[in-house]
Amino acid sequence: MIRRTKEYILENKMIKNHSTVLVALSGGADSVCLLLVLNEIKRQCADELDFALEAVHVEHGIRGAESREDARFASDLCERLNIPCHVHSVDVPQYAKSHGLGLEEAARILRYEAFEKEAAPAYAADQKQGNSRQVVVAVAHHMEDNAETVLFQMLRGSGAKGLSGMHPVSVKNGVIYIRPLLSATRAQIEEYLMENGQAFVTDATNTDTAYSRNKLRHDVFPLLLQINDRAIEHINESAGQLAVMNDFYEQQLKEACDSMIYQKEGRVILEISRFESLHPALKSGVARECIHLASGRLKDITSTHIGALVKLAGQQSGRKINLPYGIIAEKSFGEVILFAGRCDDEKEEIHITQKELEALSATGEQKNIKLSADGSYVTLCIQDFNGKMDEIPKKPYTKWFDYDKMKKGFEIRTRKAGDYIIVDDEGHHKKLKQVFTGDKIPAQQRAGLWLIAHESLVHAIIGYRSGCSALVTPQTEKVLKITFYGGKQNGFFKEI
């Protein structure tokens, strides 16, 4: 294990001499193995790899006393090994509730925030002492973790970049992350710990198949291994091959983008003559980069948006499409121009900010918002909820939401490409177009219907259904009440 891991570190240039390595130490088998292996490499191979070793433990606040006991285990282990240990305590359940996230996603966000907070002081301390040490965070992902990531990306319909899995070295928010155990299997890790008589803690949530990754680990992987006992290894090999091919693709894509995309006066301009000569794979990549440059982000940019932009390039001059974040793409003779704005037939988009909602929550007052010149409007108010579900109105133009799941803000707008709605408590979702069809909403009405949405997630279709993303439950503490008033021509009837 020591020799193989050392060679993998050197092969992928993970650790420079005189670096500081912060091990993400949960106390579980993987991270304990990583700490021990790196400590042995530091002790045995100082002539090849000279680095300082420290550990970071994040206590998530999910499992009560058991979670605090894990933190004590991590601290005691580091004390025995004479390795500095930094413990961060966070409140994952509260963060998940306030941000409308699942526990798994909330834990990941807070965990990486802790790593970033710890890496910055370590770097600053070295700089103050006149050292030029590189600070890296070592995480204990192994072959099974990488295989899970690849399968997840496949299920989501990801491209080559997603299917290339985890990388030995990556950078996130300016912090370098290394994965020295990507060359090891879980069985090899457990064997190493057993040989060294090293105990570790077991997180009970790791066996809970309510978590998607655990379903893959405990239900799907055993079936794959029955078909081919080297399935995990082969998935990792395929991911590695895709990573190499994707690296070449990214080089070609950069050259293509540099040759046909330029920016002028806040607009992104794509030259069609060069674009049309590209291979379809590069066309999609160039279109994606155009949207990225125009909107400043890639979150919620889907293959639907990319395909629509590619199609627009081949259409007649004057055609326009709506893209996320208020971006319009217009075909103009030999160019496609992307700019902020809205098409003439699109209703104005109204943004309700977190600050506005906090003010309403504090005062309990009602806010009226004008929607159009004919007097149609919407009212918002936030009130305490008594837990009585039968008091929630069933009117199609009055919608109640769990305020904690909406408090970051939302938009009142009409449909956009890529919109989707969550249809059940398990998080399954459908494209908005599928919902329109399934609910038999007339095609001529769809473009004018008002939606309550956040980015591409639709919370409610006014006059019709609500999604399950922010529903009121008996545990809801405050409700956000939204009522629409106006005429049929504005997409809804007058509320009574």
Check the annotation: does 285 bind a ligand. no
Given its phi and psi angles, is residue 27 left (phi above 0), alpha (psi -120 to 50 degrees) or beta? left
Check the annotation: does 91 bind a ligand. no
Check the annotation: does 28 bind a ligand. yes
Check the annotation: does 26 bind a ligand. yes
Check the annotation: does 27 bind a ligand. yes
In this structure, the chain runs to a length of: 496
* Binding site as annotated, residues for ATP: 26-31
* Binding site as annotated, residues: 26-31
